[in-house]
Amino acid sequence: MKKIDLPTLIAVSALSWILVNITHEIIGHAGFGVLTGLKLHAVNTTTAYHDVNWDDYRSLRFLNLGGVLMNFIAGLIALLVL
């Protein structure tokens, strides 16, 4: 049985987490919000800041759908690569 190289495992795990955050927040929430017409102010690893009317549930649902949709697409791509 082969020994697991711990530094490589840590590096691959960190890279995977970085890619998950990029696809979910930047491509998902921020990109989908811009496509639906919301003004984007800033993006970080945990939040995309848009001008959102909190009473407009339709735009909020589309904004939230972006992150979920990107998780699904990234999962399908990872499954195909695997």
Residue 11 pLDDT: 95
Is the pLDDT confidence value at 76 over 90? yes
Given a cut of 80, whether residue 56 has pLDDT beyond it is no
State the average pLDDT over residues 35-40: 86
Give residue 80's pLDDT.
95
Q: What are phi and psi of 57, to 5 degrees?
A: -65, -25
In the DSSP assignment, the letter for residue 45 is: S
Could you tell me the residue ranges of all domains in the chain? 12-81
Please give the pLDDT value at position 10.
94
Looking at per-residue confidence, does 47 or 1 come out higher? Answer: 47
